[in-house]
Amino acid sequence: MIAAISDRMRPEAEVMDLARLGSLHSSTLSFMRTLVRRIMKEEWSIDRQRFDLDNDGYGTAVYRIETPNDVFSFVLFSNFLSDEDRNDRVIATSWDLTMALCEGEVDDIWLEDMRSNVPRQEAGRVDARVFSLSRANRSSRLFSYVLEELGAGRQPDAGRIADVGYLYRTTAVYGSGKLGMADWNKVRAKFADFNRPFAPEMFICYMLRQFSLDQVDQIAKSRSPETAVALDSRLKRFFGIGNSTGLGMAPYLVNHGELLSQWIEMRETALAQVLHKATPTDWRIKLFHELIDRAEQHFNESRTGDEEQVERNRVLIAELAEVRDWLSAQGDALETWSALSDHARDAWSLETQELIHALCLEIHPELVNELEDSFAVVPNPVIDPDMSTEQLRTLIEDRYDWALAIDFSDPQQSDAFWYRSEEKLEPRLGFAGADPGVEKQMPLPIARRVRACYDVLLEDLEEHPDSDVIHFLLRSPALKSIVRRIQTMSKHKYAEIQANLADRNVRPMDLLRCKLAFFGVSKFDPRSKLWVRNTMYQGAPLIDDIGQTYESWFLPLKPQIEEAQA
């Protein structure tokens, strides 16, 4: 199927433009969406096995998860956190909640071992039975308010929930072998339920959301047994989990080019299927109009203090009205969705173009969802020693022409540098002449490294015109890693982000937005160009919905529950 549609997929230069990647929206193929579909389709059994919380919600919780294949446990520790110790930055050492997703049942001995380590996060250690670790803090804007309302016998205001979106926000989610956990190869090979990219990490956030809802109900009932009411199920679904994401996520896309290419290629394959093969029937067009209405409301309800994101949302909402008008004017003349996509490329912003594509994917699940098991890949970076240096030169000119077009003699094009902080080993962005550490910069600016390799290669070809890669690297051993990258990534259609990451005006936010869109988050709220708040699982079905019919949670909307206020 991929081979049959590959010639209709968008070109690399268009797709891998950083500004476009930074305009992606979540879709039906996003990892949270595919995980929830699996949970609902396979009817996972998720039960509270232990819920030992005091009246303030502090204590221990254990949820048992039974799938058609295995049994897992979600273990959570809730502890008092003073306001002076509350910190959402990665340098924090204490949190309201800490948690772990584990294989199998958790006995008392293992639970006590986790109690000694999980709350310590990076300072602790777990074993390979653990898939993922996370931590979270209460929302200072919403948690106490919701408790007060429930305790007084009232439902919290949906508008105030919409302004925040969550009771807890997580500041980090760990997996893939860190801190002693199971590595990805083990999880992928032995546990079919979590064999998709970031599935354990996505699931631990889903369970954190469930706990936050269970906890707030229990605290309200414990504090006010005579008057408290349970949180309305519609409001429960509208709560998500908050997330703060900074530069720690940015290098991942650069360092995992083969995986990024697989993600992009599967999305582009699905999009090409829909744009060029699907027929815009009357009922599909009607559904598209309904999704436009939904999108307008969703983005009108989105809150951000970032002026640029406010403007992007404003333009998006205005352009959606134009999309509606254009689509209505086509009548029966619209033969494929590609006509809409082509017009969007000429007429509307990148935000609108990529939202249109997400809507197209949404209304054709029969052409899209079958790809959800195709997002994993086993990296295989290798050097082809027998390739001639002339072939290497041609390869660079063909696949990295965008990098060769950058003038690195311009100081602005080489001003930014990426490094890891000594304290937390987290990526940071510095600027030459203003920040120390340029001599310890990370090798993230691929374009500049390719250019440097190309310049040396041209000089080498003048002296050794009939050489090969292995002898070239013997003469220039420092270029081994970039040559390996060039040869490896050139085998993949969408492996390289076509941007200069050393540019003074580089937007790391676009890297964050790209990865988070694949995760499936919504309502981006940039706090600077270096970090962003967002919401996970808002609108998603609850564990009580498993086995029931549930509504789509694409572009979640504020519920209308006026009758619940009486």
**Is residue 414 located within the same domain as residue 455?**
yes
Question: Is residue 134 within 8 Å of residue 99, measured between CB atoms?
Answer: yes
**Is residue 350 located within the same domain as residue 370?**
yes
Report CA 171 to chain centroid distance, whole Å: 14
What would the pLDDT profile of 116-156 be if each residue is shown by its tens digit? 999 999 999 999 999 999 999 999 999 999 999 999 999 99
Domain that holds residue 224: 43-246+536-561
At which residue do the structure tokens 């030169």 appear?
393
Q: Is residue 544 domain-resident?
A: yes
Q: CA 29, CA 273: separation in Å to the nearest integer?
A: 14
Closest by CA to 22, choosing from 443, 349, 293, 306, is: 349
pTM over 0.75, yes/no: yes
Q: CA 213, CA 426: separation in Å to the nearest integer?
A: 32
**Is residue 231 located within the same domain as residue 301?**
no
**Is residue 195 located within the same domain as residue 306?**
no
**Is residue 371 located within the same domain as residue 418?**
no
Q: Which amino acid is at 192?
A: A
Q: CA 538, CA 556: separation in Å to the nearest integer?
A: 6
Closest by CA to 258, choosing from 382, 348, 384, 74, is: 382
**Number of domains into which the chain is organized:** 3
- In a 3-state reduction of DSSP, which class is residue 310? helix
Full pLDDT tens readout for the chain, 566 residues: 455 677 899 999 999 999 999 999 999 999 999 999 999 999 999 999 999 999 999 999 999 999 999 999 999 999 998 887 777 666 678 999 999 999 999 999 999 999 999 999 999 999 999 999 999 999 999 999 999 999 999 999 999 999 999 999 998 899 988 899 999 999 999 999 999 999 999 999 999 999 999 999 999 999 999 999 999 999 999 999 999 888 888 899 999 999 999 999 999 999 999 999 999 999 999 999 999 999 999 999 998 888 999 999 999 999 999 999 999 999 889 999 999 999 999 999 999 999 999 999 999 999 999 999 999 888 889 999 999 999 999 999 999 999 999 999 999 999 999 988 876 667 888 898 888 878 889 999 999 999 999 999 999 999 999 999 999 999 999 999 999 999 999 999 999 999 999 999 999 999 999 999 999 998 888 888 788 889 999 999 999 999 998 889 999 999 987 644 43
Q: Which amino acid is at 336?
A: T
DSSP 79-112: ----GGG---STT----SEEEEEEES---HHHHH
Listed residues 431, 454, 489: the one ending a domain: 489
